[in-house]
Structures are given as structure tokens and as C-alpha cells.
């Protein structure tokens, strides 16, 4: 069917849907009676345009055409998929759905963004109830992949298939929820946590910030990758899920939350969960799951470190307390570190692309050492790298401890030439080398100029100590 989606109801949710569809190459036809709709949606679209394509390492399809329409009838013309995101009042939903169905191609499907209504409620009195499904997304819709797809008892498998195909094609993960239930699945957890959180704040046990920190520095990091049950499967260790449940089971009777309507902890329930957990994760040993978990935790925390956020900011601050001044050796030891998992490929090798990172980080250490540190840059002065030549000598592996030794080959005026050797710590073997040429620039004029006196002196002192032999860099190999 044609890649044409109708978005009925704008705002943050409708805007997120529109952005996802358009960025993934669908034409998007929008109806929203709010006179502010176009402005609001264009703001969401700008956020989405900036961030969604960053997730991808391939060119995306040509953007779909986005048009605004003055009626539902016009908006749904030619659409093969409609997403309804009007306010959460059943009479509004019914009226809107009826108007959509009056004009929509009978082969098309309607997804509703509702978090509160079950499909049977939405379908009441509909011309074709099987055309209406719940497709409940999560904010921001243009980035978070989960969408709960709830067809209800009265459904047409072809409609469910089409919805699943469309949602997958725009990069989402349609979780088909076969039973109708209030709040679907994810919002039940959010609601339980919300209720407990309200108690904690109300009772003065913790503030909103303390609660957020308890989540983002703790189990939030685990849940971003494995969720609840697989995390506990690992915690259970070799003894497995049944062992974990036996340990954790009694807590159901304890006042560990104020939410006390608990299911009975029977052998049958334990079996059910242990068997489902086996089906889900049984192909991995606990050792493998531990490895996956740790790799993901390292990668997530390093990702957050790059953004200076959450648990990554803690590590960044900790880095700063551990960072010592560079010792004035010849050559300078500008890096001593372990190759982290996020620098590797699936086969355990350090990616070719990360050698540039290593030598760039090494030269930043040298910069700080000669006084061209962040404050120097903030004051409008900097060294820019003009050219680097990297030689790849020996493969490097994830987890290897590496060292970079740096020699100043030339330090005259605005010119700086560095020679880096990256070595394996265990045996000193040279893994790669880098010849790096930098020019000092003024960040104001964006032109090259000599460094400030204290940096100039430090660079010249190093060049002399390192036996600078201008122009003869290759000689050091």
C-alpha cells in the first residue's frame, strides 16, 4: 500500500508520530483543529530531525512530504495508516474515529495513541471495529522504539499484520499485547512506581531528586538493556531463576512497598516464571549474560559520560580526581588505559577508526601539559590538528592495556609536530604509530598565530628535551 500516513491530533505525541513517519520516507497528512498545531508540531519535528537520523549509520529514505489539512476527510485521503492522538476522552475518540472511518480506505488501519482505553472501548459502535487498534507509543515518539499494539478480541489478523509492518518500517518495536487490560503493560509499571514514589515524597522519605538518582544511578542502567527478569536471572547466578525467586519470594509478605495487593507465591507461579525465563534467555549461560550485561553497562555509562550526564557524569568527575599531572619523561607517557568495549567490533578487535581517538586523546594530554588546557581554549587560543598519518602495525583487542608515548618532534612558533607510539603494556610491542602535525590558531580570527609565551616556552623546552630533529620525523621509527 502507499506510504501515506494520516496523523489526526497533533501536539507532542502526534508531532512525534508525524516526524517518525516523514523521516522514514512516508508522506504525512495532518489534521489538528488547534490553530497552534503547526507551530507545536514543527518544534517536535525540529527535535526529531536533529536526533532520529543520528541513530542510523546509513542514508535514510528521502523525507516524506508533510501537509496540513483542514478536515479529517481530507487528511485521511489516500492514507494506508492513520494514527489518532486526540485528547483522552472517550466521546472525543468515538467521534474522531467515526469521522476517520467514514472517509478512510477500508484496507487501511487506524492506530490509537491512547494510554487509558482498551481497544474494545474504542471500537464501540464503530463501522468496522477491526480497523481500530491501540498503538500506544512512548515519549519522545521519534526516539523511543516501544509501541504497544493491542488489537483486542475483535480483530482482523491482516490489520494487525499491516500495523506491525508499518510500525516496524518506521523503526519502532511493536509489542503485540494479546489480552486487553487497563493501561496495557508498560504503564502498569509506571503507575506502580509512580504510586510508590508519591508515598515516598509524601512521607518525607526522599525528594524527587533523590528518587531520580536512586533510579538513574542504579536499576535504570540495568533496565535500559535487559529489563526486569533477565537482570534477575543473572543475579540468581548459576543456581538460576528458581533460586532467585526463592530468595526474593518472601519479600512479597514484607512491607517493602505500600502497594500490598500481592499475588500468592505458589510453586506454580515460580515454575511459570522460571520456564518463561528459560525460553527467553536459556540460550545463554549465566557467564555469557554477565558478560553481555557488563559490556552494555560499560557502553551505556561511557555514552552518558560523553554527554556529561547521569551515571556518566559521576565517572567523568571521578576521572578528574584520578587524573595526575603528566610526568616530564622522555618520551612523555600520554596515555595508559584499557581498550573499552565501545571501541571494539563484534569480533573483539579495536576498530580502525578508534586509533584516531587514541592519538587525539594523547595529544590532548600533551596540550594540558604545556598549558594549552581548557582555560587556554576558553580564552580563545588552541592548537588545531592539520594532518595525521597513522600506521597500523599489530591488531589490538578489546580489554588490552595500552600506553601511548609521545615525542615532540618540532615545536617552533605556531608549528607543532608530535610522534606517538601506541604500545601493548604487557610486552611493550608497538601496535601503531602516529605522526601528527598541528598549528596554533586564534579562535577569534580563525587564523594561525604563535602560542602565548608560557605555552611556547613549554613546547620549546619539550622539543629540546626530546631531541627535536625538524623535518625528519620518520627517522624516529
Among residue numbers 214 through 253, which ones bind its own copies (CB under 8 A)? 214-230, 234-235, 237, 248, 251-252
In this structure, what C-alpha cell is assigned to residue 184?
496495557
Interface residues for its own copies in 255-284 (CB under 8 A)?
255-263, 265, 269, 272-273, 276-277, 279-280
How far is 50 from 140, CA to CA, in rounded Å?
13
Closest to its own copies by CB, 98 vs 224, is 224
Query: Which residue in the set 104, 133, 339, 459 belongs to the binding site for its own copies (CB under 8 A)?
Result: 339
How far is 256 from 260, CA to CA, in rounded Å?
9
Give me the least distance between CB of 128 and its own copies, in Å please.
Answer: 26
In this structure, what C-alpha cell is assigned to residue 389?
598519518
Q: Residue 213 gets which letter from DSSP?
A: H
> Do residues 218 and 311 touch, judged by C-beta distance below 8 A?
no
Give me the least distance between CB of 287 and its own copies, in Å please.
Answer: 8
Give me the least distance between CB of 123 and its own copies, in Å please.
Answer: 19
How far is 347 from 345, CA to CA, in rounded Å?
5
Q: Site mask, its own copies, residues 360-399, x = CB under 8 A?
A: xx----------------------xxxxxxxxx------x
Residue 315 binds to its own copies (criterion: CB under 8 A): yes
Query: Which residue in the set 1, 126, 183, 289 belongs to the binding site for its own copies (CB under 8 A)?
Result: 183
* Stated length of the chain: 477
Q: How far is CA 88 from the centre of its chain?
A: 29
Q: Site mask, its own copies, residues 98-117, x = CB under 8 A?
A: ------------------x-
Q: Site mask, its own copies, residues 50-89, x = CB under 8 A?
A: xx-xxxxxxxxx----------------------------
Question: β-pairing, 430-442 with 415-424?
Answer: antiparallel
Give me the least distance between CB of 75 and its own copies, in Å please.
Answer: 24
What number of chain residues touch its own copies (CB under 8 A)? 160
Interface residues for its own copies in 291-310 (CB under 8 A)?
291-310
Region of 121-129, 156-164, 205-213, 460-468 interacting with its own copies (CB under 8 A): 205-213
| In the block, residue with C-alpha cell 518495536 | 173
Closest CA to 297 of 362, 203, 375, 223: 223
Closest to its own copies by CB, 305 vs 466, is 305
Query: Which residue in the set 65, 95, 127, 338 belongs to the binding site for its own copies (CB under 8 A)?
Result: 338
Residue 324 binds to its own copies (criterion: CB under 8 A): yes
Give me the least distance between CB of 278 and its own copies, in Å please.
Answer: 9
Residue 199 binds to its own copies (criterion: CB under 8 A): yes
Region of 96-104, 207-215, 416-424, 450-458 interacting with its own copies (CB under 8 A): 207-215
Query: Which residue in the set 70, 202, 329, 444 belongs to the binding site for its own copies (CB under 8 A)?
Result: 202
Q: Site mask, its own copies, residues 402-441, x = CB under 8 A?
A: ----------------------------------------
Between the alpha carbon of residue 452 and those of residues 157, 362, 374, 460, 468, the distances in Å are 72, 21, 14, 12, 21
What is the greatest pairwise CA distance in the chain?
87
| In the block, residue with C-alpha cell 600506521 | 391
> Do residues 402 and 361 touch, judged by C-beta distance below 8 A?
no
Query: Which residue in the set 2, 92, 98, 179 belongs to the binding site for its own copies (CB under 8 A)?
Result: 179
Q: Residue 60 gets which letter from DSSP?
A: P
In this structure, what C-alpha cell is assigned to residue 360?
587525539
Residue 452 binds to its own copies (criterion: CB under 8 A): no
Closest CA to 111 of 154, 162, 163: 163
> Do residues 410 and 463 touch, judged by C-beta distance below 8 A?
yes
Closest CA to 419 of 404, 401, 431, 429: 404
How far is 450 from 127, CA to CA, in rounded Å?
77
Region of 93-101, 120-128, 332-340, 458-466 interacting with its own copies (CB under 8 A): 332-340
Amino acid at each position: 500500500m502507499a506510504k501515506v500516513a494520516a496523523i489526526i491530533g497533533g501536539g507532542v505525541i502526534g508531532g512525534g508520530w508525524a516526524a517518525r513517519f516523514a523521516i522514514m520516507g512516508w508522506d504525512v497528512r495532518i489534521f489538528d483543529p488547534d490553530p497552534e498545531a503547526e507551530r507545536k508540531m514543527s518544534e517536535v519535528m525540529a527535535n526529531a530531525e536533529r536526533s532520529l537520523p543520528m541513530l542510523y549509520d546509513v542514508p535514510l529514505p528521502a523525507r516524506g512530504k508533510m501537509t496540513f489539512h483542514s478536515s479529517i476527510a481530507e487528511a485521511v485521503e489516500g492514507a494506508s495508516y492513520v494514527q489518532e492522538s486526540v485528547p483522552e476522552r472517550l466521546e472525543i475518540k468515538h467521534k474522531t474515529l467515526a469521522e476517520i472511518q467514514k472517509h478512510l480506505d477500508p484496507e487501511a488501519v487506524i492506530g490509537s495513541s491512547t494510554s487509558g482505553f482498551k481497544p474494545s472501548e474504542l471500537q464501540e459502535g464503530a463501522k468496522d471495529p477491526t480497523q481500530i487498534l491501540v498503538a500506544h507509543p512512548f515519549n519522545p515518539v521519534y526516539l523511543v522504539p516501544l509501541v504497544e499494539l493491542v488489537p483486542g478480541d475483535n480483530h482482523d489478523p491482516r490489520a494487525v499484520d499491516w500495523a506491525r509492518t508499518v510500525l516496524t518500517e518506521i523503526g519502532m518495536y511493536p509489542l503485540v499485547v494479546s489480552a486487553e487490560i487497563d493501561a496495557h503493560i508498560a504503564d502498569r509499571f509506571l503507575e506502580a512506581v509512580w504510586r510508590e514514589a508519591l508515598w515516598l515524597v509524601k512521607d518525607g522519605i526522599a525528594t524527587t531528586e533523590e528518587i531520580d538518582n536512586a533510579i538513574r544511578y542504579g536499576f535504570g542502567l540495568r533496565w535500559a538493556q535487559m529489563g526486569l527478569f533477565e537482570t534477575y536471572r543473572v543475579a540468581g547466578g548459576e543456581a538460576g531463576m528458581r533460586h532467585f525467586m526463592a530468595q526474593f519470594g518472601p519479600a512479597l509478605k514484607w512491607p517493602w512497598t505500600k502497594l500490598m495487593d500481592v499475588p500468592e507465591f505458589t510453586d506454580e507461579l515460580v515454575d511459570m516464571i522460571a520456564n518463561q525465563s528459560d525460553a527467553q534467555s536459556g540460550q545463554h549461560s549465566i557467564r555469557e549474560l554477565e558478560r553481555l550485561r557488563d559490556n552494555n553497562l560499560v557502553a551505556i555509562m561511557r555514552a552518558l559520560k560523553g554527554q556529561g550526564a547521569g551515571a556518566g557524569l559521576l565517572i567523568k568527575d571521578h576521572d578528574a580526581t584520578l587524573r595526575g599531572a603528566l610526568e616530564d619523561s622522555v618520551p612523555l607517557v600520554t596515555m595508559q588505559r584499557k581498550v573499552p568495549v565501545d571501541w571494539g567490533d563484534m569480533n573483539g578487535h579495536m576498530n580502525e577508526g578508534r586509533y584516531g581517538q587514541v592519538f587525539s586523546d594523547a595529544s590532548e594530554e600533551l596540550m594540558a601539559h604545556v598549558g594549552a588546557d581548557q582555560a587556554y581554549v576558553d580564552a580563545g587560543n588552541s592548537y588545531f590538528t592539520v594532518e595525521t598519518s597513522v600506521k597500523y602495525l599489530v591488531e589490538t583487542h578489546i580489554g588490552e592495556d595500552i600506553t601511548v608515548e609521545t615525542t615532540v618532534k618540532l615545536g617552533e612558533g605556531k608549528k607543532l609536530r608530535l610522534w606517538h607510539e601506541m604500545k601493548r603494556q604487557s610486552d611493550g610491542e608497538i601496535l601503531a604509530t602516529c605522526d601528527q602535525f598541528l598549528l596554533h590558531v586564534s579562535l577569534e580570527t580563525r587564523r594561525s598565530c604563535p602560542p602565548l609565551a608560557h605555552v611556547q616556552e613549554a613546547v620549546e623546552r619539550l622539543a629540546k628535551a626530546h631531541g627535536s630533529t625538524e623535518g625528519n620525523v620518520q627517522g624516529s621509527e
